[in-house]
Structure 1
Amino acid sequence: MDHRRHGTNRSAGRSDGLITPHLHAVGTAVPDHDIHAAFLGWARSQIPNPREARLFDRMAARSGIGHRWTVLPVREDGGSPIGPGGFYGEAVLPGTAARMAIYAEQAPVLALEAIGALAERVPLDGITHLIVASCTGFVAPGIDQIVARRLGLAPSVERLLIGFMGCYAAIAALRNARHIVRSEPTARVLVVCVELPTLHMQADETLEPLLGQLQFGDGAAAALVAAEPVGLALGRPFATTLPDSHGLIRWDITDTGFVMHLSGEVPGRIAAGLADPDFARAVTGGVPAEGVDGWAVHAGGRSILDAVQGALHLSPDALDASRRVLAANGNMSSATLMFVLSEMLERTVDRGVAIAFGPGLAAEGFSFASAR
């Protein structure tokens, strides 16, 4: 297969003599209400076919997810927002306007919690650029402006808002931060990913949409990227797409929120693609899998992690960081990879690869290594 149809296939090394940007630290935050168990009970009750309901139970038990967190308020009696008196308590679920009102209020709050966690790890003085990624809501002025104002950042701080890219938006955000630091060596770039997928729950009687919904939880992460050799050195980015796959992952904006379409074919298509050496090289930025000692793979779901691990013949513990993030939080869209990178900062990595899959079906990533 001709690798050129997949996208870039650049070397993971550095040969241009330019400065190497570094990911200094990551701060993370999740809301305090766990919605996972309540959702499972609600979703099972939606399925009229007893056989499919039992299958849902088995799939949920095998999902590798123990907790998912939501910004949605609990009921007056302290119960879950799924149920009478809760946000999702009526027969007709809330419209997009109601969901976006909560996004406008809660997304900045969660983003600032993540930034606060980051500030406990590294000083955040002298920020020159702010990059915010979010695909689960819209508001104007944007989340970037709201965050900048509440942080008291100077009006001269350059802002970039990355919207609606999906799970690989963290790659796009960090890639842009890397480009900025390489062109402006004194830059200090604050990168924030904040996602509230639980605002988009949808009633459905069919198995695939409900299984897709049970993956997602709310979360935020913040990182500092600068030139000083601290944390993780960010290598060259890469990007590719899987041919004839554009409909496998999709967001549709409707009158009742954003409807996620996550095809059950995705893990199999990823595994089949990675079986092709040219596609595998494109997905890993040309870094041989056997030489990688740090895998930061977006925790999109257990079956996706299994597909990557099996297709690349990785060791049984190679994706443990991703599996821990999935178990503790579910899939938080763009924020998820940042949670995994936070774990990578706690170890020494000689050659690492970060990968995220999302709408397209696209794979994007970059190489990384512990600072020298």
Structure 2
Amino acid sequence: MAVTLRALQTVVPPTVLVQEQVRDIFAAQPGLSRLAQRLVTASFNLSGIDTRHTVIEELTLDSQAPEPQFFDATTQRLLVPGTWVRNELYIEQATKLFVEAGRRALAACPGLDAGDITHVVTVSCTGFYAPGPDYMLVRELGLAPSTQRYHLGFMGCYAAMPALRTAKQFVLADPSAVVLVVSAELCSLHLRTSNDPDTIVASSLFSDGAAAGIVSSRAPVAGETALNLDHFETVITPVGEGDMAWKIGDEGFEMVLSSYVPHIIDEHIESALAPLFGRDESLTLALAAGVVAEADAVTVQAQEQQSQSVDGGASPGQVLTAATPGSALSTAIAHWAIHPGGRSILDKTEAKLGLTEAQLVPSRETLRTNGNMSSATILFVMKEILEGAATADGDRVCAMAFGPGLTVESGLMTVQRG
């Protein structure tokens, strides 16, 4: 039985942060060391981000908030509200994003309405309250009071992947189940000025957004594009527990995001993907055929070059002697939804897996226009792929997201057009 993700929708708050302006404000904060000032400039300039979004309306240069709590536009000073203040704003604004994303997903799913939803799975790591967003979706969207509700909290940037996996498991257990999955993150609530390198990097990347989709066994209708959820895997890398972490402090939540993370991903991404690919026989065969074809091509090229070397051409030492599995991957899997945790993570992934520049465009564009929205981000990337002109029925999609642990969550999907 095919389990399908349909009606993928996204929402961002209206307040836009222009990266260059935010960089200058952070670099000018009192108490920063010269090293920290240089780190701010470098982190913001190399982030791959042009704009981000925030629920904090006063985070603008022309703000006229009478009693600012996060940013004083008159002095251009970043303020330091406590965790209670930040979480209160989360309760107010996250609810709006959860509900709006869920409402859009329902409206975009032909043949389904609120009464069809049997399960709700919500995802967030940037705030807490109860009754929580799962409850608010039932109440505000008019779902049945008997709707089963589940919340995946405080998992970090990879959490949308286990949410989709959980939704698929519900449908496999009950083919009549229809699961609304919604992720909303308000990362900007926890940004702050600091001399700490991890905090500086986090401040240059994170932002706010929400995404929602509907998982069921119902096929897409004519004109609709969806994703069959084929396989999921989770892997914890042997190193990295202290390099990416998320803790609660007195002045908001505190991110640990080491500069070593891209290196960890570079070292372990292939082994993290191996169990996922091993679950799909057709992909395994395609990869094997691709590597063999590349090896044959390399052999022909080697023979030609060795023949030329007799006449003063390329010497045998310059001839390639092995196929490149990475290029076989990029051929067997048309689209890659890589969580854009930062530009360096995307660079490492592209190089390590031998992907083309075009295959990373959805991830890079999501990062450029929206920043890193933690768990919601991977759903933004998947939506970019579904709406891309080059996306065709039957295309394979590999999605990957990274988070505390260091945890790698991955999924194989297939594009299905109604």
The TM-score by the shorter chain falls in which range? 0.7 to 0.9
Compared with structure 1, are the counterparts of its residues 269 and 76 closer, same or farther at alpha carbon in structure 2 (3 Å cutoff)? closer
The answer as to 2:353 corresponding to 1:364 is no
Distance in structure 1 (CA, Å) of the matches to 2:157 and 2:185: 10
Distance in structure 1 (CA, Å) of the matches to 2:60 and 2:213: 36
Distance in structure 2 (CA, Å) of the matches to 1:251 and 1:51: 24
Q: Using the TM superposition, give the Cα deviation of residue 198 of structure 1 relative to its aligned residue in structure 2, in angstroms.
A: 0.6
- Please list the CA deviations of residues 91-148 of structure 1 after superposition, one character each: whole Å capped at 9, or x if unmatched: 7500111011011111010112212332342143311111000110000111111121
The answer as to 2:128 corresponding to 1:138 is yes
Compared with structure 1, are the counterparts of its residues 179 and 361 closer, same or farther at alpha carbon in structure 2 (3 Å cutoff)? same
- Which residue of the other structure, out of 197, 201, 208, is the alignment partner of 1:211? 201
The answer as to 2:23 corresponding to 1:40 is yes
**Residue in 1 that maps onto 2:274:** 281
The residue matched to 1:343 in structure 2 has which SS? helix
Distance in structure 2 (CA, Å) of the matches to 1:296 and 1:204: 32
Distance in structure 2 (CA, Å) of the matches to 1:307 and 1:283: 20
Q: Equivalences for 1:331-346 in 2 at 5 Å?
A: 331-346=372-387
Compared with structure 1, are the counterparts of its residues 205 and 108 closer, same or farther at alpha carbon in structure 2 (3 Å cutoff)? same
- 1:27–1:223: 8 Å Cα contact kept in structure 2? yes
- Please list the CA deviations of residues 246-288 of structure 1 after superposition, one character each: whole Å capped at 9, or x if unmatched: 11111110111100110110001110123xx544414656655
Distance in structure 2 (CA, Å) of the matches to 1:60 and 1:92: 20
- 1:295–1:353: 8 Å Cα contact kept in structure 2? yes
Distance in structure 1 (CA, Å) of the matches to 2:261 and 2:276: 15
Q: Using the TM superposition, give the Cα deviation of residue 31 of structure 1 relative to its aligned residue in structure 2, in angstroms.
A: 0.4
Compared with structure 1, are the counterparts of its residues 54 and 202 closer, same or farther at alpha carbon in structure 2 (3 Å cutoff)? closer
Q: Equivalences for 1:1-372 in 2 at 5 Å?
A: 19-37=1-19, 38-46=21-29, 48-50=32-34, 52-74=36-58, 78-79=62-63, 85-89=68-72, 93-122=80-109, 123-125=112-114, 126-230=116-220, 231-274=226-269, 277-282=270-275, 288=287, 289-290=329-330, 291-346=332-387, 347-348=391-392, 349-371=394-416
Query: Once superposed, what is the RMSD of the aligned Cα atoms?
Result: 2.3
Q: Using the TM superposition, give the Cα deviation of residue 62 of structure 1 relative to its aligned residue in structure 2, in angstroms.
A: 2.1
Amino acid at match of 2:358: D
- 1:67–1:328: 8 Å Cα contact kept in structure 2? yes
Compared with structure 1, are the counterparts of its residues 36 and 216 closer, same or farther at alpha carbon in structure 2 (3 Å cutoff)? farther
Distance in structure 1 (CA, Å) of the matches to 2:61 and 2:259: 37
- 1:351–1:368: 8 Å Cα contact kept in structure 2? yes
The residue matched to 1:138 in structure 2 has which SS? coil
Distance in structure 2 (CA, Å) of the matches to 1:285 and 1:165: 26
- 1:355–1:364: 8 Å Cα contact kept in structure 2? yes
- Unaligned stretches of 5+ residues in structure 1: 1-18
Amino acid at match of 2:95: P
Q: Would you say how many aligned residue pairs link Structure 1 and Structure 2?
A: 351
- 1:297–1:356: 8 Å Cα contact kept in structure 2? yes
Larger Rg: 2
Q: Using the TM superposition, give the Cα deviation of residue 370 of structure 1 relative to its aligned residue in structure 2, in angstroms.
A: 1.2
Distance in structure 1 (CA, Å) of the matches to 2:412 and 2:137: 29
Distance in structure 2 (CA, Å) of the matches to 1:80 and 1:110: 24
**Residue in 2 that maps onto 1:16:** none
Q: Which has a greater percent of helix?
A: 2
Moved more, 51-60 or 209-218: 51-60
Amino acid at match of 1:369: T
Distance in structure 2 (CA, Å) of the matches to 1:268 and 1:181: 37
- Unaligned stretches of 5+ residues in structure 2: 221-225, 288-328
Q: Using the TM superposition, give the Cα deviation of residue 341 of structure 1 relative to its aligned residue in structure 2, in angstroms.
A: 1.2
Q: TM-score, normalised by structure 2?
A: 0.79
Relative contact order, CA 8 A, sep 6+: which one is greater? 1
Amino acid at match of 2:171: V
Q: TM-score, normalised by structure 1?
A: 0.88
Moved more, 242-251 or 88-97: 88-97
**Residue in 2 that maps onto 1:11:** none
Moved more, 208-217 or 158-167: 208-217
Amino acid at match of 1:281: A
- 1:240–1:283: 8 Å Cα contact kept in structure 2? no
Q: Using the TM superposition, give the Cα deviation of residue 203 of structure 1 relative to its aligned residue in structure 2, in angstroms.
A: 2.5
- 2:342–2:367: 8 Å Cα contact kept in structure 1? yes
Distance in structure 1 (CA, Å) of the matches to 2:409 and 2:166: 13
Distance in structure 2 (CA, Å) of the matches to 1:307 and 1:226: 34
Distance in structure 1 (CA, Å) of the matches to 2:347 and 2:258: 16
Compared with structure 1, are the counterparts of its residues 124 and 61 closer, same or farther at alpha carbon in structure 2 (3 Å cutoff)? farther
Compared with structure 1, are the counterparts of its residues 105 and 76 closer, same or farther at alpha carbon in structure 2 (3 Å cutoff)? same
Q: Using the TM superposition, give the Cα deviation of residue 55 of structure 1 relative to its aligned residue in structure 2, in angstroms.
A: 4.7
**Residue in 2 that maps onto 1:7:** none
